[in-house]
Amino acid sequence: MSDEPDLLYDGQQGSFKLADADAQDAGRLAFILDQMAARPAVQTLKTWALEQLAPGPADTAVDVGSGTGEDVVALAKLAGRAVGVEPSPGLRAEAVRRAGASGAEFVDGDAAALPFEDESVDVLRCERVLQHVADPAAVVKEMARVLRPGGRIALIDTDWATAIIHPADPGVLHRMVDYFLGQSANPYSGRRLRGMLAGAGLEISGETAATWIESQEGARQGYVAMMHLNALQGGVITPAEAEAFARGLHDAADQGAFHMSLTMYAVSAVKGPAV
Ligand SMILES: C[S@@+](CC[C@H](N)C(=O)[O-])C[C@H]1O[C@@H](n2cnc3c(N)ncnc32)[C@H](O)[C@@H]1O
């Protein structure tokens, strides 16, 4: 073995923060989003949200932070107009390419200042975006502003406190997770969805959750497989600890004993009629 630590990571890294939107490699972000979208738990919540929103042919439907545009295409099949708001130029271009002649539209924009008039949107969804936003409660109020009275909204997000990672040295894992949570804008987003919707004056109409369980390949390619690289970069673990962590995951996966799971939450709400 060489003197250099073997950091053992085969996957892709990327940032979904607004501040990084222009600088990101869209191919890499699309790859990560495709991996996420392939998880049954993610599809379960996407389907649930679409059922809650129930867009109709007269409706304008909006997906905030639309990524590769899969959900805007799904909305376009049911709604009169479907618009994805996405600040990353590369992801927007990829979404336009994938959407083809579906009728889905994509616009530049920030969730904190949506490019829509007051009360002009009938249904709105936002998935795994609020965790990247500095002031998510203000963003949800912005969503409430654009919803028309009687309009419907569905939010989906992860709560990173629900992450279970096995195996790992508890002390090393604690430092890695603490570092990860400190780097995230809003890591406990999942538990806050309900309160933020209620705080924006909306009436909760449904809530559910789904847990995704990482495959054994995830030990080498998924979120967990890059945590040690970030923690090492942040100086909270040593190269030897990073290598031991990665090697422990790989060995466990080789024996079919690796575990990582994470719970995502979805909440729907309705905007009451104007008084
Ligand atoms: C994890 S991805 C989720 C994408 C998509 N909603 C999905 O379910 O596949 C987060 C998305 O939010 C976008 N995003 C980040 N900050 C944003 C902001 N302030 N306003 C709107 N979108 C934002 C990112 O560019 C990225 O496309």
For ligand 1, residues with CB inside 6 Å are: 16, 18, 21, 33, 37, 64-67, 85-88, 91, 110-112, 127-129, 132-133
Nearest to 232 by CA among 171, 180, 161: 180
Give CA–CA dist 87/17, Å, rounded. Answer: 10
Is the per-residue pLDDT at 143 higher than 70? Answer: yes
Record the tokens describing residue 4, joined without a space. 């250099």
Smallest CA separation from ligand 1 atom 1, residue: 128
Residue 151 pLDDT = 98
Give CA–CA dist 13/31, Å, rounded. Answer: 10
The residue count of the chain comes to: 275
Where does residue 236 rank: exposed (0-12), middle (13-18), buried (19+ CB within 10 A)? Answer: middle
Residue 14 pLDDT = 63
Cα 123 to ligand 1 centroid, rounded to whole Å: 18
185 or 147: whose pLDDT is higher? 147
Cross-strand partners of 152 = 123, 270
Nearest to 194 by CA among 236, 255, 140: 140
Q: State the pLDDT confidence band at 150, using cuts at 50, 70 and 90.
A: very high
Cross-strand partners of 255 = none
Lowest mean pLDDT among 1-15, 209-223, 249-263: 1-15
Give CA–CA dist 228/166, Å, rounded. Answer: 14
How confident is the model over 142-171, as a mean pLDDT? Answer: 96
Contact 29, 37 (CB under 8 A): no
What domains appear along the chain, each with residue ranges and CATH number?
A: 18-159+185-210+264-270 (3.40.50.150)
Smallest CA separation from ligand 1 atom 23, residue: 65
Cβ within 8 Å of residue 171, ≥6 positions away: none
How confident is the model over 171-219, as pLDDT tens digits? 999 999 999 898 889 999 999 999 999 999 999 999 999 999 999 988 9
Q: H or E segment at 74? A: helix 70-76
Contact 158, 185 (CB under 8 A): no
Cβ within 8 Å of residue 11, ≥6 positions away: 220, 221, 222, 225, 226
Taking the CA of residue 32 as reference, the ligand 1 atom at the shortest distance is: 1
Q: How far from chain centre, in Å, is Cα 181?
A: 15
Record the tokens describing residue 267, joined without a space. 């909440």
Cβ within 8 Å of residue 23, ≥6 positions away: none
Cα 239 to ligand 1 centroid, rounded to whole Å: 32
What does pLDDT average to over the chain? 91
How confident is the model over 22-53, as pLDDT tens digits? 767 788 889 889 988 999 999 999 999 999 99
